[in-house]
């Protein structure tokens, strides 16, 4: 009779462990989804800024059509990409590269660099890039936690049994924007 109580207690502990670990896996998966929605919201914020930036540059640098078209094309690709995290990262890297080219074009036009509208857009883009990087770091931290739980023994037994899969990290190149202005002192 006493052996039955011991076996029952052990079975109950194993069952409780299973519930707790399963719930932790579900929680980790949901945290990753939530964190990804934060990244997605910040990316959409950037997508909304790009047409204004393109139009501003277009007014000053009309003959830079190819650069402007590349930015518009990369934005459309990134905006429409609903694939995996890795596919989204590839689209984002292409977009970041085209924005860097656009900002390099702006450097050649002193009137554009002095435009308050352009400076405001550039500042907003820099703020958005900071927010994207923060959301990306938060997402990747959740991915790390989930993947660690999925890979760790003994929770990997439950993860395999219930087909939990590892999440992908979101690796993108950041758009480093200079916030400093050039000051010239005349003698």
What number is the average pLDDT over the span 116-141?
94
What number is the average pLDDT over the span 44-73?
89
Quick one: pLDDT at residue 113? 81
Residue 10 lies in a domain: no
Domain count along the chain:
1
The DSSP secondary-structure symbol of 14 reads H
Quick one: pLDDT at residue 61? 81
What Rg, from alpha-carbon coordinates, does the chain have?
24
Residue 13 lies in a domain: no
Quick one: pLDDT at residue 165? 96
Q: What is the pTM of this model?
A: 0.85
Residue 118 lies in a domain: yes
Pair of tokens at residue 60: 């000053």
Residue 53 lies in a domain: yes
Tell me the C-alpha distance between 118 and 48, whole Å: 15
Give whole-number Cα distances, 122 to 50, 54, 118, 136, in Å.
10, 11, 6, 21
Instruction: For residue 93, give the CATH number of its domain.
Output: 1.20.1440.20
Q: Report pLDDT digits (tens) over 62-87.
A: 778 888 999 999 999 999 887 899 99
- Is the pLDDT at 186 greater than 90? The verdict is no
Residue 40 lies in a domain: yes
Quick one: pLDDT at residue 63? 78
Residue 183 lies in a domain: no
Residue 7 lies in a domain: no
Mean of all residue pLDDT scores within the chain:
89
Residue 147 lies in a domain: yes
- Is the pLDDT at 20 greater than 70? The verdict is yes
**Closest C-alpha to 173, from 104, 89, 108:** 89
Quick one: pLDDT at residue 82? 79
Q: Report pLDDT digits (tens) over 136-177.
A: 999 999 999 999 999 999 999 999 999 999 999 999 887 765
Give the domain range for residue 89: 22-161
- Is the pLDDT at 107 greater than 90? The verdict is no
**Closest C-alpha to 96, from 7, 40, 172, 2:** 172
- Is the pLDDT at 98 greater than 70? The verdict is yes
pLDDT bin (cut points 50, 70, 90) of residue 187 is very low
């Amino acid at each position: 009779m006493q052996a039955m109580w011991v076996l029952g207690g052990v079975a109950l502990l194993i069952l409780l462990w299973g519930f707790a670990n399963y719930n932790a896996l579900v929680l980790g998966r949901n945290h990753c989804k939530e964190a990804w929605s934060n990244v997605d919201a910040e990316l959409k914020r950037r997508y909304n800024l790009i047409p204004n930036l393109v139009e501003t540059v277009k007014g000053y640098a009309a003959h830079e059509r190819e650069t402007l078209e590349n930015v518009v094309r990369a934005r459309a690709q990134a905006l429409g990409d609903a694939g995996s995290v890795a596919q989204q990262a590839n689209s984002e890297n292409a977009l970041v590269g085209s924005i860097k080219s656009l900002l390099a074009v702006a450097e050649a036009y002193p009137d554009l660099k002095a435009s308050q509208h352009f400076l405001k857009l550039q500042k907003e883009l820099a703020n958005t890039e900071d927010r994207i990087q923060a959301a990306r770091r938060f997402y990747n931290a959740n991915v790390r936690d989930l993947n660690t739980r999925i890979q760790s023994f003994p929770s990997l037994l439950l993860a395999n049994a219930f087909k939990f899969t590892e999440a992908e990290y979101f690796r993108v190149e950041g758009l480093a924007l200079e916030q400093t202005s050039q000051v010239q002192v005349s003698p």
